[in-house]
Amino acid sequence: MAQIIMNNPILIKGSRIIDARQGVDVVGDLLIKDGKILSAGNTIATDDMPENCRVIAGNGLIACAGFIDLHCHLREPGFEYKETIATGTQAAARGGFTTLCCMPNTDPAIDNAAVVEFIKRRAEEEGVVRVFPIGCVTKERKGKALAEMEELASAGVVAFSDDGDPVYDDNLMRLALAYSQDLGLPISNHCQEHSLSRDGVMAEGWVATRLGLPGIPAAAEETMIARDISLAELTGGRLHVAHLSTIGSVSLVRQAKERGISVTAEVCPHHLTITDQWALGGKNSTNDVAGPLSYDTSTKVYPPLRSQHDVEALVDALAEGVIDCIATDHAPHDLASKQVTFQDASFGISVLETAFGSLMQLVHEDRISISTLIERLTIGPARILGPNFAELSTLKPGTPADLVLFDPNRDWTVDPEEFASKGKNTPLAGTILKGRVVATLVAGQIVFQGSELMEQVS
């Protein structure tokens, strides 16, 4: 994160303050000074305000700890034409994310201390939110030999993954999980059994059949999750299941937790809110035949968008706590990677700037409470990352003032051309969402300020 220059104190008056870690849900004032939370919930009288205090009217807004993203792609180094740390962190700020964990499928891959230091330095120079690298499980992500995991841990990685490719070798995954127990850092695997997924480009099912596209069966994900859970039980290692997407995967994780295995799981916003039917075109329509808007490559993502039954199971599991947190899997791409045939298009959706708005759909539909949603975006990922992240998921006085201020009822239309991210690849273009971030603060500094907030500053 770029060096913070302390601004004047900030007082947010009359917002609804939700701190899931402390169980706080009150309407009150939030006072920030010297980059930290000074007071949360108490009414601050004019005479008690610090000198040169900036006052923001929080009426109708909700304040909570900044969101933490366990799984995103910042593309730097190596793919700066898709995204950079500068543009990715700006996108994160617009979406209410104050902490990002970036995946290692870069070039060079994050498999040594030098690359970790490069990312940390670049984030300090150009980033506007906190950035923590995730290190490779295997050297160069090639699946042939373990990376120097202890060196990476000492350099500051917060987890290990070969994301983009699974750790295919059973024994290497076993060794990695064994090391994870000693290092205290989770292993996050991209669960994809290649022998089952083969050349699939979307979820196997009636939509793929209707479009004449090769499908990816749910078993491609579930088979490898089952293997990883078995190895986690064998080793006692820390397994984190990335981007869960099927009913069967939910059952596997639920059973593993019931057996006391050290397993956590994440789910992405798009797997909670849209289905494979969107590939037929017409956004959230009931189209059941191909038409002029079909084969929308912005819907191509891995794991693929799945059926409504899967979506419902994932939402229920998130509300129940079987799924621990929400992670974006933000995967920005350049135009040329998506404006091709569906088979040739790159997998991935640009998510950071639409995540919160799309997730609020679940709140407005009474599928999940606002406090639970906030918990899954803050405490959930912080617990997986470890005790050092606890202070980034609360508004407790004395902790860093990483927070988001949002309007839960504001309607807005998704326009990718307005994204800070270089990746404009989203199936939500033109969609009206309800719920929008109006300000994001990191260490007490406003790193994103929407026009809505500007109108409320007094």
- Going by pLDDT thresholds of 50, 70 and 90, the confidence category of residue 6 is low
**pLDDT > 70 fraction of the chain, expressed in percent and rounded:** 97
Active-site choice (163, 310, 329, 402): 329
- Residues 278, 274: Cα–Cα separation, whole Å: 7
- Residues 127, 90: Cα–Cα separation, whole Å: 7
Q: What pLDDT score was predicted for residue 1? A: 60
Q: Hey, how many other C-beta atoms are within 10 angstroms of the C-beta on 438?
A: 23
For the chain, the three-class secondary structure string (H helix, E strand, C coil) is CCCCCCCCCEEEEEEEEEECCCCEEEEEEEEEECCEEEEECCCCCHHHCCCCCEEEECCCCEEEECEEEEEECCCCCCCCCCCCHHHHHHHHHHCCEEEEEECCCCCCCCCCHHHHHHHHHHHHHHCCCEEEECECCEHHHCCCCECCHHHHHHHCCCCECCCCCCCCCHHHHHHHHHHHHHHCCCEEECCCCHHHHCCCCEECCHHHHHHCCCEECCHHHHHHHHHHHHHHHHHCCCEEECCCCCHHHHHHHHHHHHCCCCEEEEECHHHHHCCHHHHHCCCCCCCCCCCCCCCCHHHCCCCCCCCHHHHHHHHHHHHHCCCCEECCCECCCCHHHHCCCCCCCCCCCCCCCCHHHHHHHHHHCCCCCHHHHHHHHCHHHHHHHCHHHHHHHCCCCCCECCEEEEEEEEEEECCHHHCCCCCCCCCCCCCEEEEEEEEEEECCEEEEECHHHHCCEC
405 pLDDT higher than 60: yes
Q: What pLDDT score was predicted for residue 268? A: 98
Q: What is the dihedral of CA 277, 426, 135, 185, to 10 degrees?
A: -60
Domain 65-393 has CATH 3.40.50.300: no
Give me the chain's average pLDDT, please: 94
> Using one digit for the tens of pLDDT, what is the confidence trace for 155-204?
999 999 999 899 999 999 999 999 999 999 999 999 999 899 889 999 99
Q: From residue 402, how far is each of 61, 215, 263, 378 by CA, in Å? A: 16, 42, 28, 11
> Using one digit for the tens of pLDDT, what is the confidence trace for 207-264?
999 999 999 999 999 999 999 999 999 999 999 999 999 999 999 999 999 999 999 9
> Using one digit for the tens of pLDDT, what is the confidence trace for 340-395?
999 999 999 999 999 999 999 999 999 999 999 999 999 999 999 999 999 999 99
The lowest-confidence range among 58-62, 399-403, 450-454 is 450-454
Is 329 labeled as catalytic in the residue annotation? yes
